[in-house]
């Protein structure tokens, strides 16, 4: 499923599944223009499972649309498997599972996949993709009777028909309950073990952490962090100390060794630090601080700290 290209010295390199170079995308809104993507550089290798994590309006869907060839970058270039996105799509190398649409309620699950298969010259067997998507048991159920999670697994089965090298999922589990989400991801995970590249957009930090090999955090159309879930979490490895003091002096707290950030809200002070023991000791012995609470930061805090978006 992976392709290679040859360097001038004769050695072969694997072609990136996705390569975005300096991509921007602006939309005209009357006289104004909205910069949805503001200079994105990204390379995804074959077989990677990558989460595109970002708040509403970060530019995830706009970027996925460009990778799918549905729109073109305003500047910069988007390449899929070494070719223009539209060429990769035309060769059946890319499939997508979008959030809504595309299903006829009166058909059964199997009929939906069969009719979709009839649109292609050459596809994987219908029973095989139903099995991979974990919907063999509901193959004779009408689409109208399927839950949101089952409908998403049906879209996933349809996306597998062409045996794509790259699978794009735009917030695939929106609206699913915990069990539906778990079942959906175990289908994706099993399938990805065959070496398929998967890129999914999500708002859910835990989902990105749990199912992706790599998280690309985007905000305001730019990559703000790129790494494993553990690396992204380590960006927020510090602690938060919250306490009260009669007349807080933010500058004085900022000068305490080890303090990375200070927020003052009335008599309440919040300090961010990677050395909570030393800072706590200093607060309790050398200042009027009382009611001290120490909490660990999670991925949610990393997200807010890195993107500046308190959602």
Ligand X SMILES: Nc1ncnc2c1ncn2[C@@H]1O[C@H](COP(=O)(O)OP(=O)(O)OP(=O)(O)O)[C@@H](O)[C@H]1O
Q: Is 58 one of the binding residues for ligand X (CB under 6 A)?
A: yes
Interhelix angle 109-118/148-160, rounded to 10 degrees, is: 30
* C-alpha 247, offset from chain centre: 43
* Stretch of 55-63, 85-93, 177-185, 259-267 lying at the interface with ligand X (CB under 6 A): 55-63
Question: Is residue 39 near ligand X by the rule CB under 6 A?
Answer: no
In the bound state with ligand X, the residue whose beta carbon lies nearer, of 59 and 172, is 59
Contacts of 259 (CB under 8 A, 6+ apart): 253, 271, 272, 273, 279
The residue (of 174 and 287) whose beta carbon lies closer to ligand X is: 174
Q: List the one residue out of 130, 169, 177 whose CA is nearest residue 149.
A: 177
134 binds ligand X per the rule CB under 6 A: no
Query: Count residues contacting ligand X (CB under 6 A)?
Result: 13
Q: Is 299 near ligand X (CB under 6 A)?
A: no
Applying CB under 6 A, does 21 fall inside the site for ligand X?
A: no
101 binds ligand X (CB under 6 A): no
Nearer CB in complex with ligand X: 35/275: 35
Q: Mask: binding to ligand X, 193-212, rule CB under 6 A, as x and -?
A: ----------x---------
The verdict on 29 binding ligand X (CB under 6 A) reads yes
Q: Candidates 9-17, 58-66, 74-82, 279-287 — which segment interacts with ligand X by CB under 6 A? A: 58-66
d(CA 307, CA 301): 10
The CB-of-63 to ligand X minimum distance in angstroms stands at 7
DSSP 161-176: TT--SEEEEESTTTT-
Cα angle 283, 288, 293; round to 5? 55
Burial of 142 (0-12, 13-18, 19+ CB in 10 A): middle
Among 16, 18, 20, 36, binds ligand X (CB under 6 A): 36
Shortest reach from residue 218's CB to ligand X, in Å: 7
Q: At what angle do helices 178-192 and 148-160 cross, to 10 degrees?
A: 10
Question: Per rule CB under 6 A, is residue 252 in the interface with ligand X?
Answer: no
Q: Are strands 49-53 and 32-44 parallel, antiparallel or unpaired?
A: unpaired
Do residues 28 and 71 make contact, with C-beta atoms less than 8 angstroms apart? Answer: no
Contact positions vs ligand X (CB under 6 A): 27, 29, 34, 36, 54, 56-62, 203
């Amino acid at each position: 499923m992976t392709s290679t290209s040859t360097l001038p010295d004769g050695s072969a390199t694997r072609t990136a599944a996705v390569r975005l170079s300096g991509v921007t995308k602006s939309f005209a809104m009357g006289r104004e223009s909205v910069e949805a993507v503001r200079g994105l550089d990204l390379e995804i290798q074959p077989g990677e499972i990558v989460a595109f994590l970002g708040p509403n309006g970060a530019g995830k869907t706009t970027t996925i649309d460009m990778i799918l060839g549905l729109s073109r970058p305003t500047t910069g270039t988007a390449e899929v498997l070494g070719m223009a996105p539209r060429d990769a799509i035309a060769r059946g190398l890319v499939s997508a599972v979008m959030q809504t649409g595309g299903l006829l309620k009166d058909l059964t699950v199997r009929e939906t996949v069969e009719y979709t298969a009839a649109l292609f010259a050459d596809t994987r067997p219908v029973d095989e993709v139903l099995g991979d998507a974990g919907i063999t048991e509901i193959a004779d159920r009408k689409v109208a009777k399927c839950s949101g999670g089952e409908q998403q697994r049906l879209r996933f089965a349809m996306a597998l028909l062409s045996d794509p090298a790259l699978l794009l999922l735009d917030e695939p589990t929106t609206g699913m309950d915990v069990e539906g989400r778990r079942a959906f991801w175990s289908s994706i995970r099993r399938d990805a073990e065959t070496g398929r590249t998967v890129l999914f957009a999500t708002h859910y930090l835990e989902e990105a952490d749990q199912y992706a090999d790599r998280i690309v955090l985007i905000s305001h159309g730019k990559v703000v962090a790129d790494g494993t879930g553990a690396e992204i979490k380590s960006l927020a490895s510090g602690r938060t100390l919250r306490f009260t003091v009669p007349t807080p002096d933010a500058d004085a707290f900022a000068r305490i060794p080890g303090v990375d950030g200070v927020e003052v809200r009335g008599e309440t002070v919040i300090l961010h630090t990677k050395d909570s023991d030393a800072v706590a000791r200093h607060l309790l012995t050398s200042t009027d601080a009382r009611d001290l609470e120490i909490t660990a930061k999670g991925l949610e805090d990393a997200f807010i700290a890195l993107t500046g978006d308190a959602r």
